[in-house]
Amino acid sequence: MVKIIYRDKEWEVKPGITVKKAIKEAGLLVEAVLPIKDGKLITEDTVLKDGDVVRLIAVISGG
C-alpha cells in the first residue's frame, strides 16, 4: 500500500495509481498541494509504488 500524509491526517491508497489520482480521491486539488516523496518534490503523473510514502504540502495561506 501507499501512505499519504496531509496536515495531521494519514491514509492509504492502492499502488499503481498516479499522484494526481491520489490527490483527487482525497477531495483535494492539484493546484493547492505539492507532493513530496523521499524528501523530494514529484510531479503529479508519478505512479505510486507499494511502500511509497507521499506527503502533500498545503500551499494556500490567508493573505
Partner 1 sequence: MKCRKCGEKAVINMRHHKLALCQKHYLEWFIGQVDKTIKRYRMFRKKDKILVAVSGGKDSLSLWDVLLRLGYKADGLYINLGIEGGNYSDISLEKVEKFVAQHPGAHLHIVDIKTLYGRSVPELARESHRGKRICALCGLVKRHEMNRVAYEGGYYAIATGHNLDDEVAVLFGNTLRWQTGYLARQAPVLPSTHPMLARKVKPFCRMYERETAAYAILQGIDYIYEECPYAVGSTSILYKNLLNELEEQSPGSKLSFYLSFLQAKENEQICFMGEEASPELHPCEKCGQPTTAPRYCAFCRVIYKLRENGI
Q: Can you tell me which of 12, 27, 38, 43 binds partner 1, judged by CB under 8 A?
A: 43
Q: Can you tell me which of 1, 10, 11, 29 binds partner 1, judged by CB under 8 A?
A: 29
Size, binding site for partner 1 by CB under 8 A = 20
In sequence order, the 6+-apart residues with CB closer than 8 A to the CB of 24 are 30
Indicate whether 61 belongs to the interface with partner 1 (CB under 8 A). yes
Indicate whether 27 belongs to the interface with partner 1 (CB under 8 A). no
